[in-house]
Structure 1
Amino acid sequence: MTSVYFYLLVGVLCAAFALRAPALLRHWRDPLVRSVSLLLPLGAAVFFFAAPPTISQVNALTGVPNFSVPLVYGIVTAASAALVNLTIIWRGGPEERRRCATRWCVGVYGAVIAAQSALFALGDASDERLRDFDTYYATTPYLREMVVLCVLSYGLANLVLARLCWRWAREVPGLLRSGLLLIVTGSVLSLGYVACKFLAIGARWTGHDWDGVSTTVAPTVSSLASLLQCVGLALPSASQGVTSLWRRWSRYRRLRPLWLTMRAVTPYELVRIPWWSSLGKRQLRRTCDIRDGLRLIAPRLDRGAEQAGRGDARPGALKPDAARHVALVAAAFAALRGTRPGQEADPSLEDMLAGDDAQLVRLSDALRVLAVLDHPSGRESGARGAALRRG
């Protein structure tokens, strides 16, 4: 695997972290948000410091041959602990049980990092190795134990992660299940990475040279596994975000007929906002304009569509050609109040003005249907349909 591929993965993980940064700032007290936000920079750090150019630079800056090895091993072990911790928090359950499991996870993997640093200090790693440290020092006292300890801790973390996510995936549906299955797939591939490392190290112990399995196959498997795990972690939250955005956009679009009618009724120009404004600001502006217009024509709505169309309602500060639009709104309001008789209380104008946007959306939908029927072409098609049904 080339060095460019290492840095490409770093860029992907940093971009994912940047997308989650606003959520981290808003919900930094949420342990799940903190765990996901911590895992992404740790993964980026693993690939950044594992790239051969970075290894060479770190060794040169510190003046210690192979100083990058305990650094990378420590970050890999910390990322493994973060994976297990994230699954514990994500899974849920009693808070005291989660805290106890988190403390055990942090304690065990913290001890592993300390042991790796101690073994590196005790061993003799005077020859700098940028790619094949694992196999080159596979028979060196203390260093071989450090390598085995790192690979074992990484494999154990992914084994626990695969087991927890597999059990959980059988209990949940939808995109959460898909995300968990992707994590399981990535964890199984990570176990393949562990197998490649042990094959190469075991070959060295028996006097053979299978270094290519460790330097070529294992990093490729590891990068693919990390990518699948990151996608699996991001899939549920990303799908929720896309679904929420789609619902907000649909609600904003469905309010358009009622909003346009209010523009045709109110005697003043509605306040416009820049086109680059966020969807939330545009939604708020649209609902405020609608409620202002409904308050203006409120005395006319209860008199019914027929009186509003004749202009029998009390005169007010409306545009001269607003009578037809007021009649349509009155008819839509009357139709809306009669849609579900006996099931629940009919929505009143006060409910629409003081409640959420759901009633306004329903009123806008009813207005859109009536506006189509009120159009000449709509009336003709409706008459033809009625004649066909009678015939």
Structure 2
Amino acid sequence: MSDLGYVLCAIGAWIHALVKYRSLRKAPPERKAPIRAIIVGSALGGAPMLLGATVIALPLNRVTGIANLTVLLGWCLALAFLCASQVMLLYWHHSDRAWPQARRLMIIYGLVICGMVALFAVSPELENRHRGFTALAAGVPVLVAMLVLYFTTYLLGAANLVRLCWIWASEITDRIWLRRGFRIAATGMVFAAAYGAVCLFAVIGGLVNPALRQWSVNAPAIAGLGVPLVLLGYSIPRWGPPLSAAWTALRQFRRGLRDYRRLRPLWQALAPVNPAMIHTPDSLAERLSMDFRLFWRVIEINDWLHQLRTYQDPAVVVAIEHRARETGHSGNDLAALSEAAQIKAALARRQRGQRSDVAITDVAVAADAHHAFASERRRLVMIADALTDPLVDATLRDVEVSGTATST
């Protein structure tokens, strides 16, 4: 990973810590412990990322006068991050009995960090090398003990996080984004565990074959692949639900726009009935709101249909139903064709000034929607689609011919 990648990951982890701190202030008392662990884990996770950048690490070593100090500091913070992550999971899963296990973890990791610091302090000073420190230190007996202690603890901690995240994710049924976050974090920790395993093999194998120590030089790139996944997994429960809501809103907008366009032929055919009833949006927000525009389009169409009731022809109903059934139409399709034919016939009779003595009740189109407006909207969309069906025009021609023959 490049220096920029390390810095961006560190900033991302700290931003997540700040966001969770805001949640901590509003959380109920029983939920504060796991949120605190998340904050500590994110803060600790960002620190070793920042120290992983050579532009930060090497100048800090020169300022302190201690060669490779940032390597030790970054490793200690990485172990603290693994500890805090496991504590977070314990408090999330069983907060009422998590403290004994959390205390045991903190003691173990604390002892490991103290041991690493002690071994580093008594070791001979090496060349100030940030990237290849593991390969260089693997040739020093005292530092070999420190490396084995660190990478063993790191590997076990990362592997345990993979296990806990994956197993406990399957227990989550009501929070889909939390379950996804656990599994994404588990996937990221697989790379971290692989990094620890490769480095541990390089250190131990280097005792037999020094060439194996070079495996550790590029091993951090393996862990770097998992860092964005871990950060994503830890943060996605926070921003995932709004993302779902935005996607749902987008899908609703697309459906609304589709229905708005499908209603246009019916709206344009009925508009001459009473153009004064067309609603004009009062603001820019109303013009941009698809729900608002679709609502008024449905209202306007229904108002115009109500005014056409006195122009309906009962003969059209009988003719269209007979012809539609012959061609295999039934149910909603039959009802939509019937109403479309009635509308076209009523518009033609209105132009001729021929009123009907019988007002025909609209045939209801069944819908699965739970909202009355959605049901009416679907009904009108089906009618608008049926308005251009050749069957409707053919039926109206037959009725007109039949009516002409009867009158003569």
Same fold (TM over 0.5): yes
Q: Distance in 2 between matches of 1:196 and 1:384?
A: 78
- Cα drift, residue 212 of structure 1: 0.8
- How many pairs were matched up? 331
Partner of 1:317: none
Report matched runs for 1:108-147 at 5 Å.
108-125=108-125, 127-138=127-138, 140=140, 143-147=143-147
What is aligned with 2:200?
A: 198
Q: CA deviation at 1:155?
A: 0.9
Of the candidates 41, 55, 71, which is equivalent to residue 69 of structure 1?
71
Identify unmatched segments of 5+ residues in structure 2: 268-274, 312-342, 347-359, 398-408
Alignment correspondent of 1:365: 378
Residue identity in the other structure for 1:366: R
User: Percentage identity across aligned positions?
Assistant: 22
Q: CA deviation at 1:12?
A: 5.4
| CA positional deviation for 1:223 | 1.9
What residue ranges of structure 1 are gaps of 5+ in the alignment? 276-281, 313-323, 341-345, 348-357
The Cα of 1:57 is off from its aligned counterpart by 1.0
CA drift of 1:160 comes to 0.8
Partner of 1:350 in structure 2?
none
Note the C-alpha offset of 1:58. Answer: 1.0
Contact 1:254/1:364 (8 A) holds in 2: no
Q: Is the 8 A contact 1:183 1:233 kept in 2?
A: yes
Partner residue, 1:85: 87
- How many Å separate the matches in 2 of 1:372 and 1:26? 51
**Deviations 1:1-32, CA, capped at 9 Å, x for gaps:** xxx624325435645876x6896476343666
Conserved 8 A contact 1:9-1:47: yes
- Over 3 Å counting, the alpha-carbon distance change for 1:381 and 1:149 in structure 2 is farther
2:35 & 2:373 partners in 1: Cα distance?
Answer: 34
Name the CA distance, whole Å, in 2 between partners of 1:264 and 1:111: 83
The answer to which of 123-132 and 228-237 deviates more is 228-237
The answer to whether the Cα contact below 8 Å between 2:185 and 2:229 also exists between their aligned partners in 1 is yes
1:27 match: secondary structure = helix
Q: CA deviation at 1:157?
A: 0.9
CA distances 1:32-85 after superposition (whole Å, capped 9, x unpaired): 677667655654543331233432111012222222122111221122224323
- Determine the structure 2 residue equivalent to 1:250: 251
One-letter amino acid of the counterpart of residue 222, structure 2: V
Structure 2 contact 9–227 (Cα < 8 Å) conserved:
no
> Is the contact between residue 35 and residue 88 of structure 2 (CA under 8 Å) also seen in structure 1?
no
C-alpha contact 2:137 2:143 (8 A) present in aligned 1: yes
Shift of 1:179: 6.2
Distance in 1, matches of 2:276 and 2:249, equals: 25
Provide the C-alpha distance between the structure 1 equivalents of 2:142 and 2:121, rounded to a whole number of angstroms: 9
1:251: Cα distance to partner?
Answer: 2.4
Deviation of 1:96 after TM superposition, in Å, equals 0.8
Partner of 1:95: 95
Q: Aligned-pair RMSD on alpha carbons?
A: 5.0
> 2:355 is matched with which residue?
none
- 1:210 aligned counterpart, secondary structure: helix
Which digits, 9 at most, give the CA deviation of each residue in 1:113-137, with x for residues without a partner? 3443344334443542323333433
Match of 1:56 in 2: 58
Note the alpha carbon deviations across 1:222-260, whole angstroms, 9 max, x for none. Answer: 223434544555677776554432222222344455799
- Asked if the contact 1:10–1:45 (Cα under 8 Å) also holds between the matched residues in 2, the reply is no
> For residue 270 of structure 1, what is the aligned residue in structure 2?
282
Q: Which amino acid aligns with 2:68?
A: N
Find the aligned partners of 1:209 and 1:286 in 2 and give their Cα distance.
Answer: 67
